[in-house]
Amino acid sequence: MAVREILIHPHPMLRTKAEEVMDFGAELQTLIDDMFETMRAASGVGLAAPQVNVPLRVLVVEYAQDDAARPERYALVNPKLVYVSPETEIGTEGCLSIPGIFGEVIRPRSIIVRGQDRYGNPVTIRAHGWLARIFQHEIDHLNGVLFIDKAVRTWREEVIPVAEGVG
């Protein structure tokens, strides 16, 4: 496994619609492993292949729901939202490809996603709340859409410098 470079906005790959995966061979397996490693190294909860300069419909998510001792890991290939709830909620989002910027985004509260696992087997995932938000954010990446395109408000993270020798 290797940590890959995460592209930073306005890199053009981030605005490219990713291509469907047809080959579930060794290169895809390496990509998925590297994406998990890269996401963890950057302290993220999700990552889409275009963010590591690969124009394929692949995403990874690692998120612990309800204070679970062990986070759930998802590698999803060729995902499609097949259901979005009419109920929405606003939430704060950030992005590894847009460091230091956050925004409030309105998204459906519950979703159903269909796709394939890393080996090509069909998968259906029902998600709500924060997990649903993560999947929607990453699927947007596969379509060349960034959270700043949907945000009702954005802001820059304020960093307060710490004086040397203090603390």
Domain residue spans of the chain: 12-156
* Whole-angstrom distance, CA of residue 6 vs CA of residue 28: 17
* Whole-angstrom distance, CA of residue 92 vs CA of residue 147: 10
Q: pLDDT digit string (tens) for 8-25? A: 999 999 999 999 999 999
pTM attached to this predicted model: 0.93
Over residues 20-45, the mean pLDDT reads: 98
Task: Give the catalytic positions in this structure.
Answer: 138
Measured in degrees and rounded to the nearest 5, phi and psi for residue 93 equal: -130, 150
Q: Can you identify the CATH homologous superfamily of domain 12-156?
A: Peptide deformylase (3.90.45.10)
pLDDT value at position 157? 87
The pairing of strands 72-84 and 88-93 is unpaired
* Whole-angstrom distance, CA of residue 117 vs CA of residue 10: 30
